[in-house]
Structure 1
Amino acid sequence: MSGGKWPRRLQLAVLAALASIMLAGCGSDYVVLNPKGPVAQTQYDLIMISIILCSIIIIPVIALTAFIVYRYRDTPNNKATYKPNWAHSTKLEVIWWSIPIVIIAILGYFTVRDTYALKENPNKEVQPMVIQVTSLDWKWLFTYPEQNIATVNYLQIPAGVPVQFQISAEAPMNSFWVPELGGQIYAMAGMTTELYLQADHPGEFQGRGANFTGEGFAHMQFNVKATSQDEFDQWVKEVKGTTPAMSKEDYEQLRKPGLSDVLTYSSFPEGLFEEIVSKYSHGHPMETGGSMHDSMHMDGDKKESAPGSEAGEKKDESAHSTHHMPNTAMTPVMSH
């Protein structure tokens, strides 16, 4: 009877494994493993390299474990050599120390290389478009400073153009994520993080919040639509001609906890994103990883603080009173 149970158990185990795979989805449903842009492709390659390198250790260890359990099992007819005084083998020590060290060195090289590469514009030949992202309770606000439009829970971008996202929050910490275009990055009040993404071809992708933020967290999703440059320009023109402007009162309503449908605005209050960040920065300097906004402020600061000028003296006094505060700008973190 016991001999008949094992084949049945094996069949059940195989069926359970197959069911898990089928229920998990297939093909493009594995969005993290379905890259649609250069950033996501770089991260996908790094994931595959990590899996292969780890498999070099994991598979032999599992196989040796099964072999040892079988070979040295406690049965009357087991002819395995019994060596109770064996304690050391220089050859084995060299093997099981040198192989992991080499693998860790290789993995470290690829990880460092790709981590630094992902902080840069993925397409040096094309000027990136800037989009400011604000995480709210429980909705996403996107402001386009170059086009002077805003959207809620909807993002449209031109395909083939890198997008420099400047990300902050006026709500509990969240994480901005479009799996098919790249890894996630934190959105935190009083701080800005930076993330480059690019869609290689037109298409629609699902964006989401990847950090629990309370009751409406499950609804913090947004559609990302990549179109041709002409279609994107036409969409911007339609938004500016057919939708209302966002006022400060509109934003105050948006920032209140609650869900929201997709909204579009033909304009938004100037400096809104910078105001949101500075509101919670407690006097710390705002940084966005070298954005155009920073460049303009740096140029202005240079002019205002010219030696001998009255503005420069006042600025020096202000700086002296706050220079001890640490910088709160966050370095982008790639997450798989």
Structure 2
Amino acid sequence: MKSTRFVVLIIALIPMIFLTGCETNMVVFEPQGPVARTITDLINWSLAWMLLVVVVVFSLFGYIVWKYRERPDNMDYEPPEEHGSTVLEIIWTAIPILIVIALTIPTVQALYDLEEVPEGYEDKEPITIHVTAADWKWIFSYPEQGIETVNYANIPEDTPIHFKLTSASTMQSFWIPALGGQKYAMAKMETEMYLVADNPGSYVGKNSNFNGRGYAGMEFEVLAQTHEDFNQWITDVKETAPELTEEEYEELLKPTHLGRLTYANTHLEWVDHANMHSKTYTNPELYRYHGYQGKTFEEEDNYRNKETNLEHNGHHSDEDDEHEGHGGEHDGH
């Protein structure tokens, strides 16, 4: 008996040992905007039903095993032949149908709600940001403000942001866990999503779609600012950021990891990757030689670093990143 208890104790401790290093900060359960709250509520609703099913099933399993276990007083018992119970058949058929209905209705309602400006923000003018995915970086174009950023996006708080998603090459998955769910970005197509940040703060975004050895480091920052700070940032960018040329942009689209870049114009002037007839920028011959494995290089924003602008003409090469891949302050937000 003691040996059995010891074995059970060891089995219980093994998962605890292996799970001690797991992160407990679950961002999706700490929503920072109305879209994320809608998704979190839907997740909690689904978890409650799943928990109910698990509890009922395991309780019935334990009860049946215990009640109909073999005992000394029923060793020779032979149950009579039965044809089943119509009532029980109806019950255990109806229950799953009701559960599916209970999950389907709020899910469909949430899916339709998430395609529109969040409730309570209908009277606020959204800010449009075109998001272009490339291997392995994110490009954010502000057509109304006439600026473009790489691997970071600044947004004003408490304002609807209309993201228009596309890709210059492979399919990517755009996801900011604290603000909303994921949506795919595909070449020569455009998907849309609305997000709102309740308060100023820094939120991590990422690519959650496996599309090569560099996807793990394809992260970006979304910085929610006060309206005053956001407007000041726009002014600073227009006054100090370099102009992006078509040649530089084509170089930027090659499969590399980059730091944070900022430009005083957008690539939408000469190409819109969501257009079915736009040029294709895939570089399959470069993938086999891509040596970086998920590392994003962090440097000062190029529109604040004048020496970098002069030396690199507004962009970083792979070789530059290898020598200058040390962390730097994220100016400009």
Q: Which residue of 1 aligns with 2:94?
A: 98
Residue 213 of structure 2 corresponds to residue 215 of structure 1:
yes
Task: Determine the C-alpha separation between the residues in 1 that align with 2:106 and 2:76.
Answer: 43
Q: Quote the Cα distance in structure 1 between the aligned partners of 2:249 and 2:18.
A: 44
Q: 1:154 to 1:11 in 2, by over 3 A?
A: same
Q: Aligned partners of 1:52, 1:101: CA distance in 2, in Å? A: 16
Secondary structure of 1:23's aligned partner: coil
Report whether the alignment pairs 1:112 with 2:114.
Answer: no
Aligned to 1:266: 264
Of 245, 250, 253, 1:252 maps to 250
Q: Structure 2 CA distance, aligned partners of 1:21 and 1:34?
A: 22
SS in 2 for 1:143: strand
| Percent identical | 39
How many residues end up aligned between the 2 structures?
Answer: 278
Aligned to 1:196: 194
CA RMSD of aligned residues (A): 2.3
SS in 1 for 2:194: strand
Structure 1 residue 11, shift from structure 2 partner: 2.5
Structure 1 residue 63 corresponds to structure 2 residue 59 = yes
Residue in 1 that maps onto 2:292: none
Q: TM-score, normalised by structure 1?
A: 0.76
Partner SS state of residue 24, structure 1? coil
| Aligned partner of 1:7 among 5, 8, 17 | 5
C-alpha contact (below 8 Å) 1:191/1:281 kept by paired residues: no
Q: Which residue of 2 aligns with 1:292?
A: none
Give, in whole Å, the separation in 1 of the partners of 2:51 and 2:31. Answer: 22
Q: Aligned AA for 1:223? A: E
Stretch moving more, 251-260 or 66-75: 66-75
Aligned to 1:49: 45
Partner residue, 2:324: none
Tell me by how many angstroms 1:106 deviates.
1.6
| Aligned counterparts of 1:42 and 1:119: Cα–Cα separation in 2 | 12
How many Å separate the matches in 2 of 1:91 and 1:79? 30
For the residues of structure 2 that align with 1:36 and 1:81, how far apart are their CA atoms?
Answer: 62
**1:99, CA displacement in angstroms?**
1.9
**1:141 and 2:139 aligned:** yes
Aligned to 2:27: 31
Pair 1:46–1:14, CA change in 2 (3 A): same
Q: Per the alignment, do residues 238 and 107 of structure 1 end up closer, same or farther by CA in structure 2, a change over 3 Å counting?
A: same
TM-score (norm. length: structure 2) = 0.77
C-alpha contact (below 8 Å) 1:159/1:201 kept by paired residues: yes
Quote the Cα distance in structure 2 between the aligned partners of 1:70 and 1:16: 28
Give the structure with the higher percent helix.
Answer: 1
Q: Do the aligned partners of 1:149 and 1:240 also contact (CA within 8 Å) in 2?
A: yes
1:204-239 C-alpha deviation (Å, 9 max, x unpaired): 111000111112111111111111111111111111
What's the counterpart of residue 155 of structure 2?
157
- Say yes or no: does 1:239 pair with 2:246: no
CA shift for structure 1 position 73: 3.6
